[in-house]
Structure 1
Amino acid sequence: MSAPIVHGGGVTEAAARFGGRFEDWLDLSTGINPRPVELPPVPQQAWHRLPDKLTIDGARAAAASYYRTDGIQPLPVPGTQSVIQLLPRLVPTGRRVAVFGPTYGEYARVLAAAGFAVDRVERAEDLGVDHGLAVVVNPNNPTGRAFQPAGILAMAATMAANGGVLVVDEAFGDLEPDFSVAGQVGAHDNLIVFRSFGKFFGLAGLRLGFVVAADTVLDAFREWLGPWAVSGPALVISKALMSGDTQAIAAGILERRAGLDAVLDEAGLKRIGGTGLFVLVEHADAHALHRHLCEAQILTRKFDYDSRWLRIGLAPDAEGDRRLADALRRGDALRPGDALRPGEC
């Protein structure tokens, strides 16, 4: 297995290196709603007993309505990462894999570790007859690139003609429902859609996602994951929240995104991409800027494959915006040159 990827959210490691208490750090390294929603009541039975069919079916029905799946009942899974680990089982032996990148690194890592040749592609025209599986994150992390549904469905048709499967990761799709192809899966047996629950609702620790796919694919994932893969409380919480009014949640996220944009523009940082939950900025030495912010106990997300990029997530409130703005103004924060060594904050 290849070396693990360093993801966002490593505040304890950053605090150990740069000092300060965990709770004093401002974590802008993730693409998660910084204002977690209020949890609905969870019956004691959900904690006491294994999840039964009624509980599972209730969450699936709520997900079908929320994700507008046109009758398909999405499969609850313990986070999208759990099914990324299963993707090698869907690729025929001897076929290559295409991943639209740069993107979330676990796709290429898991598939390469399983022995498949992975091609990083950028255009639909790059999909070839050798590709048994293709992955596109839409909207993309970290660039925010988004394909229109017609383009995604054309990719699915290309893959189907070659006997291949298209996986569409819509982890950041809650704020962009018109980009989703979850409602088109019924007409494309080779199309698989992953949805993340925790990012939009600010509950990443719940470890919950949903898969929208043909029954044969869902049955395979269910068997591979085994019984009771998702906890009863997670199912109860997801049903309640997806059945409720999410407009206020979306408005709160967009208000926080506007606050971040204002800070970055004032600092003169170039915004080159992003989604409602994060911004990708370009700077001559983003690693040096990353270090400076760590010294101010603010964690952002740097990239080993591009030293000019920094991904910055949303602060929970205006005070967090002011703290970021103050750190960017302070001293020579934007002076290039002091790049971090691999593995540092």
Structure 2
Amino acid sequence: MTISPPLHGGRLREAARHFDRPLADWLDLSTGINPCSYPLPPLDVDVWRRLPDDDDALPAIAAHYYGAPPAARVLAVAGSQAAIRTLPRLLPPGRIGIAPLTYSEYAPAWRRAGHEVVPVDLDGIEAALPTLDVLLVVNPNNPTTERVAPGTLLRWREALAAHGGLLLVDEAFMDASPAHSIAAHTGAPGLLVCRSVGKFFGLAGLRAGFALGEPALIDRLAAELGAWAVSGPARAVVAAALADTDWQQAMRDRLQRQQSRLVALLEQHGLKVASTPLFCWCPHPDAPARYHALAQQGILVRCFPALGGHGPSLRFGLPDDASWARLDTGLAHAFSTPGAGAAPLTQG
């Protein structure tokens, strides 16, 4: 079985070639990565010349940051992507429920491992639970921003665990609103939570994240990933970021303001907007052409086709402080002129 690799935002060099525009002349809003990243701390030279220490303080620091209970194990991984790709191989083939429009890495990874992927939307999950071995929930969902309340997720976990099933919750965009996380329940049977450091902290290049869950399953994941899954420098930077509560609170406040500003700007240009603190999602019947009109001005966003009952749509990440006026001008042009041209680079 041949499964095409998913497409993602952030492929700026490809966009530069595709639209014949210099790399330096782009405003990249195609990801949900915080443009105001955590300031890198000075690093001891030993983190560069020694092998990473998987038995350092990072798991304890992460457990405290995420509120994980003593019964849970917290494993540092090379971005939550590492867990996404590896976990399906650890479980016997079964039926996994996944939203039709969500983070696109999940369905191919589970299919490659021999699982049956069952499309389920939020309204259909309750009825589907008895038939599923695994339920995946991206919370808040990427790209649609839909959020499931913690109480509902815990009820689904209980129903799945009753027949040996697993609830897998991807909280990659949860750091800006941690009160909605269920990481504090990851000691319970049938629950695994994935977290990302790259989004909220603006450190996607580190490739660092965490898997939290029952020790038996996390131990199997750790054995499959092997030693030194996260580099020493990355472990040191992540430990500093997770411990810096002052920066975290200031950034949450800032992101709330930036979220409101982006929503207002998009609505000003006639778009219907659903939002999280790190990105906005805008259904639009002419999304591919508007994507193209923005790209012709050097503004890269993410375009999604009609899928799972949703029409075509655009996703906008946050601009940096210097780029709001450019985005305003680009939106005015893209949404006041007739559609044009080629299929979106990041469609899919």
TM-score tier by shorter-chain length is over 0.9
Superposition deviation, residue 336 in structure 1: 5.7
Structure 2 residue aligned with 1:264, among 260, 266, 273? 266
Within 5 Å, give how 1:92-103 maps onto structure 2: 92-93=92-93, 95-103=94-102
1:312 and 2:316 equivalent? Answer: yes
Q: Secondary structure at the match of 1:97?
A: strand
Cα distance in 1 between the residues matched to 2:221 and 2:202: 25
Once the two structures are TM-superposed, the CA of residue 20 in structure 1 deviates from its matched residue by 2.5
170-179 vs 243-252, greater mean Cα deviation: 243-252
CA deviations over 1:186-225 (Å, ceiling 9, x no partner): 2x22100000011000000000000110111111111000
Shift of 1:344: 6.6
SS of residue matched to 1:156: helix
One-letter amino acid of the structure 2 residue matched with residue 257 of structure 1: Q
Q: Which moved more, 1:261-270 or 1:150-159?
A: 261-270
Aligned to 2:22: 21
List per-residue Cα deviations over 1:74-101 (Å, max 9, x = no partner): 11000111111112224323x2111134
Q: Which amino acid aligns with 1:309?
A: S
Deviation at 1:265, TM superposition (A): 1.8
CA deviations on 1:1-55 (whole Å, 9 max, x unpaired) are 41111100011111112133212200000000011121011110001100125xx
Alpha-carbon separation, structure 1, partners of 2:128 and 2:184: 23
Task: Give the secondary structure class of the aligned counterpart of 2:186.
Answer: helix
Question: Which letter does structure 2 place at the counterpart of 1:234?
Answer: A
Q: Distance in 2 between matches of 1:59 and 1:296?
A: 43
Instruction: Quote the RMSD (CA, aligned, Å).
Output: 1.8
**Aligned positions of 1:144-223 closer than 5 A:** 144-186=145-187, 188-223=188-223
Structure 1 residue 267, shift from structure 2 partner: 0.8
* Counterpart AA for 2:115: F
Q: Which amino acid aligns with 1:227?
A: A
Question: Is 1:328 aligned to 2:331, yes or no?
Answer: yes
Whether the aligned pair in 2 keeps the contact of 1:274 and 1:280 (CA below 8 Å) is yes
Is 1:116 aligned with 2:115? yes
TM-score normalised by length of structure 1: 0.93
Unaligned runs of 5+ in 1: none
Give the letter for the 1:105 counterpart: S
In 2: Cα distance, 1:305 partner to 1:107 partner = 18
Q: Using structure 2 for the length normalisation, give the TM-score.
A: 0.92
State the AA in 1 paired with 2:270. G
Task: State the Cα deviation string for residues 286-327 of structure 1 (Å, max 9, x = none).
Answer: 11000000000000000134553000000011x311111101
Q: Please say if residues 32 and 198 of structure 1, whose CA atoms lie closer than 8 Å, have aligned partners that are also in contact.
A: yes
What amino acid maps onto 1:247 in structure 2?
Q
Find out whether 1:236 has 2:254 as its counterpart: no
Q: Which deviates further from its counterpart, 10-19 or 256-265?
A: 256-265
Identity in percent? 41
Query: For the structure 1 residues 243 and 235, does the alpha-carbon distance in structure 2 shift closer, same or farther, using more than 3 Å as the test?
Result: same
Which deviations, in whole Å up to 9, do the C-alpha atoms of 1:208-255 show, x marking residues without a partner? 000110111111111000011110111111111111121112223223
* Distance change in 2, residues 1:334/1:90 (3 Å): farther
Deviation of the 1:178 alpha carbon: 1.4
Q: Is the 8 A contact 1:91 1:132 kept in 2?
A: no
Partners of 2:328 and 2:268 in 1: how far apart? 8
- Cα offset, 1:337, TM superposition: 4.8
From 228, 253, 256, the equivalent of 1:254 is 256
Aligned length: 338
Q: For structure 2, which runs of at least 5 residues remain unmatched after alignment?
A: none
- Which range moved further: 17-26 or 35-44? 17-26
| 1:103-145 deviation per Cα after TM superposition (whole angstroms, max 9, x unaligned) | 1011111112222211111233133433211100111111111
Which residue identity lines up with residue 255 of structure 2 in the other structure?
I
Residue 334 (structure 1) shift:
4.4
Question: Structure 2: which amino acid aligns with 1:107?
Answer: Y
How has the CA–CA distance of structure 1 residues 339 and 295 changed in structure 2, closer, same or farther, with 3 Å as cutoff? closer
Contact 2:259 2:277 in 1 (8 A): yes
Whether the 8 Å CA contact 1:142–1:274 is kept in 2: the answer is no
| Between 305-314 and 156-165, the greater mean CA deviation after superposition | 305-314
Superposed, which structure 2 residues align to 1:267-278 within 5 Å? 267-271=269-273, 273-278=274-279
